[in-house]
């Protein structure tokens, strides 16, 4: 699939195409132009790809498995077994990037929930992690729930969670 470069000045020279392949299925041929000053102007990938060599469905599949308790090594082995050319590091990157997006969304949910709720319910629970006690704070109301894992069960910790949301 050819992708045309945009806003190319008239005095630029066409230099060919740069291939960007999505899992052996789709190859984007990105136009590459060069300005007289030597600056290279490539075509841009569609925004939904976000520079990734994997579709959103593969990312969703991997993160769903992880959310259901499947660890990274079996996810990697499954994807390779299904024919995907992917490294274990890329599986880790996919899961970390999705976790960052979930964390951002979670903070937005807490902020919106606190703005609308006349009151909230709060609870926390502890769990032992290697050589350290961890705590999960739960804040909710009828239409939202928020969870935050920290290593403190103090009042200051709870207040800092609330302060970040408002």
Q: What is the pLDDT of residues 92-149, one digit of tens each?
A: 988 888 777 778 888 888 989 888 889 889 888 888 777 788 888 889 988 888 888 8
Q: Is the model's pLDDT at 24 over the cut of 80? A: no
| Residue 40: HSE in the Cβ half-sphere, 13 Å Cα cutoff | 10
| Pair type for strands 121-129 and 144-150 | unpaired
* Rounded Cα–Cα distance for residues 109 and 165 (Å): 9
E-state strands within the chain: 2-3, 13-22, 26-34, 40-42, 121-129, 132-141, 144-150
**28 touches 20 (CB < 8 A):** yes
**31 touches 2 (CB < 8 A):** yes
Q: Is the model's pLDDT at 28 over the cut of 80? A: no
Domain positions in the chain: 1-53, 54-116, 118-165
pLDDT at 47: 66
Q: Is the model's pLDDT at 78 over the cut of 90? A: yes
């Amino acid at each position: 699939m050819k992708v045309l470069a945009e806003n190319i000045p008239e005095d630029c020279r066409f230099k060919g195409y740069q291939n960007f392949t999505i899992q052996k299925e789709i190859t984007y041929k990105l136009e590459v132009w060069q300005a007289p000053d030597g600056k290279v102007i490539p075509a841009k990938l569609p925004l939904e790809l976000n520079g990734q060599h994997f579709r959103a469905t593969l990312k969703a599949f991997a993160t769903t498995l992880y959310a259901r308790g499947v660890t990274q090594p079996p996810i990697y082995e499954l994807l390779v077994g299904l024919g995907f050319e992917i490294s274990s590091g890329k599986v880790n990157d996919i899961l970390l990037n999705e976790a960052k997006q979930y964390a951002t969304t979670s903070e937005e949910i807490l902020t919106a929930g606190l703005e609308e709720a006349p009151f909230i319910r709060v609870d926390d629970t502890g769990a032992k992690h290697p050589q350290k006690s961890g705590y999960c704070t739960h804040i909710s109301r009828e239409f939202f729930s928020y969870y935050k894992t920290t290593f403190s069960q103090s009042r200051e910790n709870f207040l800092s969670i609330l302060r970040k949301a408002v």
